[in-house]
Structures are given as structure tokens and as C-alpha cells.
């Protein structure tokens, strides 16, 4: 790692101030992407502002058909939360399948979505569930939050405080993991809510995206057989040593079918 100063604010205001006053300050949440990146010297920071001491960023609440998860809530806390399990079991399931138990004990929802790794799981849940990202300065719909590979709508010094998920009628997430890293080669989150079906795909493209043609057929009939004949275009999809674009396109259909079956119980 290149050298940095470590700071641990106890309030959001203090954190925002620290970021503003730094040359190149980074927010440290669970650290499970940032620290490995710093260790490999692929990134540097003048200051790391650790959000762990800010109480208001923690916790899960549920009211009026919306589940709100504090940004510093860990994946294992989401997975184990009875509130999440009851309201949106697909979300608890997704959180329980991120990385490994130790990653889940440290990694946070705020950190994951702020980083927007193209193969991360959470972005699919946010877009699939039409969630709202709450920050220190505003609320942003998930559709507008994830803007590109490792890019989000967050401005300088803006910190994610929580994510609000409307409770769907039914939902499910199916992931085909990269055999080595276990990130998603393709992950598909399907949700049936009051405004229809949403299908969000992670791992396949530069950033999470909605598979609109699949949404259209699932709105006609929410069953795996509806998707059976859909051939997703491989244009613009990721290619690497683990999967071609063509294979990823195929897996989108397969994972969607499995997710729909799972959602239908």
C-alpha cells in the first residue's frame, strides 16, 4: 500500500468534512474491495475515512412495504436479518451468497454499491427491486445510480447512507459464479412488483443492466417457459478467460429461467 492517513469520524458530517479537506480521500467501509486494491498498489489514497464509527449508517428497518438497510450493514447481517428474510427473502439469499463468510462479515451494502464492480451481486438486487439509494445529499433511483463500470452517480464527498427496497410480490436471484473468484459471471435478479416484472443482470456487461426484452415476456406470463426461447444478444457483453460473450448471453437466459422458477417457489 502507498501511505495514507487513517481517520475514523463519529458522524456523517465529520466524515463529509474529512473527505472535503483531503487531497484524495477515500471512504473505507468494509474494505473488501478497497484494501486488496490498495495492497496491490492499483490505487492510492491520501486519507482513508473509516465509516465504522458512525452509528446512523447501521441497521435494518421495515415500514410501509419498504425495507431500508443502512449503508454499513454487512452482508451477513442482511442475510441473517429476519426482517429481510420475511419481506424480501431473495435479498437475504443474495447477501448470503456474496463472497465467503469472512467477506460477508466485513463487506457492506454501501461499500459494494459505491464500488459498482461489474460482477458484484448487490447492484442486481437494487436494480431488480427498483430500490432507492439514499446519500448524504439526495435519493437516487437504482436505475440512475449505476452509471458504468466501477462508476456511480455519487459526487465527490457524497456518501451512501442507506438503501430502500420496496417489497416485491416475489423475487429471486440466481448466480453463475466465476469458478475462480466466485464473483458473478452472470447473475440475474428477477422481481415481480406492483409496476410489473424487472430483470436485472450483473456480471455480463460493463455494469448492471435491465434485460427489457425478458421483462416484456415475463410481464406476459411469469414462468420459466416464457423465457425458454429467448436468445439474448451477446453484443457488448464481457469476455474473459472464463466466459465468452456468447456463453454469458446464454447464461442470462438460463439464470433467468432458474430465478423465475425459484421466485415461483
Partner 1 sequence: MSVTVSMIVNGKSVSAEVDPRTLLVDFLRVDQRLTGTHVGCDTSQCGACVVHVNGKSVKSCTMLAAQADGAEVATIESLAIDGQLHPMQEAFRQNHGLQCGFCTPGMIMSALDLVNVNSNPSEREIREWLEGNLCRCTGYHNIVKSIQAGAEAMSEV
Partner 2 sequence: MSDTGIGASVRRKEDLRFVQGAGKYTDDMNLVDQVHAYILRSPHAHAAVRSIDTSAARAGEGVVAVFTSEDMAEVGGIPCGWQVHSKDGSAMAEPKHPVLAEGKVRHVGDPVAVVLAESRTQARDAAESIFVDYDVLDAVVDMQAAVTDGATSVHDDVGTNVCYDWGLGDKDAVDEAFSNAHHVSRLDLVNNRLIPNAIEPRCAIGDYDQATGQFTLHTTSQNPHVIRLLMGAFVLGLPEHKLRIHAPDVGGGFGSKIFHYAEEIIVTWAAGQINRPVKWTADRSESFQSDAHGRDHVTTVELAMDADGKFLALRASTLANMGAYLSTFAPCVPTYLHGTLLAGQYSTPVIYCEVKAVFTNTVPVDAYRGAGRPEATYLLERIVQVAADDMGMDATDIRRRNFIQPSEFPYQTPVALIYDTGNYEASLDKALENSDYAGFGNRKAASKEAGKLRGIGISSYIEACGIAPSNVVGSLGARAGLYEAATVRVNPTGSVSVMTGSHSHGQGHETTFAQVVSEKLGIDFDSIDIVHGDTDRVPFGMGTYGSRSIAVGGTAIVNAIDKVVAKGKKIAAHLLETSESDIEFENGQFVVPGTDKAKAFGEIALAAYVPHHYPLEELEPGLEETAFYDPKNFTFPAGTYVCEVEVDPDTGTVEIASFHATDDFGVVINPMIVEGQVHGGLVQGIGQALLEGCNYDDTGQLLSGSYMDYTMPRATDVPSFSVDTTVTECTHNPLGVKGCGEAGAIGAPPAVINAVLNALSEVGVTNLDMPATPHRVWQAIRDAQAS
Q: Which residues bind partner 1 (CB under 8 A)?
A: 1, 3-6, 8, 28, 31-32, 35-36, 39-40, 48, 50, 52, 76, 80, 99-103, 105-106, 181-182
Helices and strands counted in the chain (H then E): 12, 14
Nearer to partner 2 by Cβ, of 67 and 185: the residue is: 185
Q: How far is CA 63 from the centre of its chain?
A: 22
Query: Measured between alpha carbons, how far is 77 from 81 in angstroms, rounded to an integer?
Result: 6
Site string for partner 2, 36-75 (x = CB under 8 A): ----xx----------------------------------
Task: Choose which of 35, 43, 216, 254 interacts with partner 2 (CB under 8 A).
Answer: 254
241 binds, among partner 2, partner 1, none (CB under 5 to 8 A by kind): partner 2
Going by C-alpha positions, the residue among 175, 218, 166 that lies closest to residue 194 is 166
153 binds, among partner 2, partner 1, none (CB under 5 to 8 A by kind): none
Beta carbon of residue 92, minimum distance to partner 2 (angstroms, whole number):
20
Query: Measured between alpha carbons, how far is 49 from 4 in angstroms, rounded to an integer?
Result: 10
Spatial contact of 227 and 220, defined as CB atoms under 8 Å apart: no
Give the footprint of partner 2 on residues 14-43 (CB under 8 A): 40-41
Q: What is the 3-state secondary structure (H, E, C) of 133-190?
A: EEECCCEEEHHHHEEECCEECCCCCCCEEEEEEECCCEEEEEEEECCCCCCEEEEEEE
The Cβ of residue 77 has, within 10 Å, a number of other Cβ atoms equal to: 20
Task: Choose which of 227, 251, 260, 263 interacts with partner 2 (CB under 8 A).
Answer: 251
Nearer to partner 2 by Cβ, of 1 and 149: the residue is: 1
Beta carbon of residue 216, minimum distance to partner 1 (angstroms, whole number):
35
The three-class DSSP label of residue 214 is: helix
Residues that bind partner 2 (CB under 8 A): 1-2, 40-41, 176, 179-181, 241-244, 247, 250-251, 254
Amino acid at each position: 500500500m502507498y501511505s495514507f492517513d487513517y481517520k475514523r469520524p463519529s458522524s456523517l458530517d465529520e466524515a463529509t468534512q474529512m473527505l472535503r479537506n483531503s487531497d484524495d480521500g477515500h471512504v473505507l467501509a468494509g474494505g473488501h474491495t478497497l484494501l486488496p486494491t490498495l495492497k496491490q498498489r492499483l490505487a492510492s489514497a491520501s486519507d482513508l475515512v473509516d465509516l465504522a464509527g458512525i452509528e446512523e449508517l447501521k441497521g435494518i428497518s421495515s415500514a410501509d412495504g419498504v425495507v431500508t438497510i443502512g449503508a454499513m450493514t454487512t452482508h451477513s447481517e442482511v442475510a441473517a436479518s429476519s426482517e429481510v428474510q420475511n419481506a424480501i427473502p431473495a435479498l437475504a439469499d443474495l447477501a448470503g451468497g456474496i463472497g465467503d463468510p469472512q467477506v460477508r462479515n466485513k463487506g457492506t451494502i454501501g461499500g459494494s454499491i459505491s464500488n459498482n464492480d461489474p460482477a458484484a451481486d448487490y447492484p442486481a438486487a437494487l436494480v431488480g427491486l427498483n430500490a432507492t439509494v439514499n446519500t448524504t445529499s439526495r435519493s437516487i433511483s437504482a436505475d440512475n445510480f449505476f452509471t458504468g463500470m466501477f462508476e456511480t452517480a455519487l459526487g465527490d464527498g457524497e456518501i451512501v447512507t442507506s438503501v430502500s427496497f420496496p417489497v416485491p410480490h416475489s423475487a429471486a436471484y440466481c448466480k453463475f459464479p466465476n469458478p475462480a473468484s466466485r464473483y458473478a459471471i452472470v447473475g440475474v435478479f428477477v422481481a415481480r412488483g406492483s409496476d410489473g416484472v424487472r430483470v436485472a443482470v450483473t456480471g455480463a456487461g460493463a455494469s448492471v443492466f435491465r434485460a427489457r426484452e425478458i421483462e416484456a415476456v415475463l410481464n406476459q406470463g411469469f414462468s420459466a417457459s416464457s423465457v425458454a426461447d429467448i436468445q439474448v444478444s451477446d453484443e457488448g457483453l464481457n469476455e474473459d478467460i472464463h466466459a465468452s460473450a456468447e456463453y454469458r448471453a446464454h447464461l442470462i437466459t438460463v439464470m433467468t429461467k432458474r430465478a423465475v422458477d425459484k421466485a415461483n417457489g
